[in-house]
Amino acid sequence: MLTKRIIPCLDIKNGRTVKGVNFVDLRDAGDPVELAAAYAEKGADELVFLDISATEEKRRTLAKLVLDVAEQLNIPFTVGGGICSVEDVDILLKNGADKVSINSSAVKNPDLINQLSEKFGSQCVVVAIDAKNIDGKWTVHLVGGKVPTELDLFEWAKEVESRGAGEILFTSMDHDGTKNGFANEALARLSEELNIPIIASGGAGNIQHFEDTFKEGKADAALAASVFHFKEIEISDLKNSLKNSGIPVRI
């Protein structure tokens, strides 16, 4: 069985790591370069860097900051935010990213998924999907959760896979920052209906939540931010607990 991955996430705004609740009320969580170095040392399996205001501000991801973070890492590094073209990805990969995450740009131009997959390989392409449960339907949202669409989470996820995405990073907007657990029912359905890895995001509050999302949600990886940034959970403690519960992890 493949090992389950633990992935800290650096949400970046104005060059600083931030964290909010339900995508709003952001507070400072530290220097991204220092946090990246600490996570690599503490046993994180990967790191995700999301420039959360790049799309809204209509600019590219901060390439220099990506380079500074990448220099601290010896683990896979995914970068997202404001990516709209093959050229954008080329710049980020040259600055040390291993994978890229696209979200709003994939919805606006689905063919971008095909282009990136064909040029860089599907293993390089992560499609992030932010969705909210509205009247029983998981609806995809764009621009950091600010713009609702007509897209259904599961139909969009299937299209994303068919276009060449290598992974899906699903964030439940309802669970984000609440520390009440991941959206395991939706995650399990995604895992059952798709053949590519699903990264769970939104809702981690304690070690049990991670165990639940791997067992009940069938997630391949779990991403979290505040519980790691504010040292509410140490990655070594988390992994030891998961291992003791029979979940395969890299120690």
Residue type at position 193: E
Q: How many CB atoms lie within 10 A of CB 57?
A: 12
The string of DSSP letters for 20-48 reads: EETTEEEEEEE-HHHHHHHHHHHT-S-EE
Where along the chain do its domains lie? 5-244
Instruction: Quote the pLDDT of residue 115.
Output: 98
Q: In this predicted structure, which of 50-59, 71-80, 146-155, 199-208 has the lowest mean pLDDT?
A: 50-59
Q: How far is residue 80 from each of residues 83, 140, 142, 192, measured CA to CA in Å?
A: 7, 17, 13, 26
Q: Is 31 a catalytic residue?
A: no
Instruction: Quote the pLDDT of residue 193.
Output: 98
pTM, 2 dp: 0.92
Residue 25 confidence (pLDDT) above 70: no
Burial class (CB in 10 A: 0-12, 13-18, 19+), 94: exposed
- Which of 45, 88, 130, 176 is catalytic? The answer is 130
**In whole numbers, what is the pLDDT of the chain averaged over residues?**
92
Q: Is 51 a catalytic residue?
A: no
CATH class entry, domain 5-244: alpha beta
- Which of 11, 51, 176, 212 is catalytic? The answer is 11
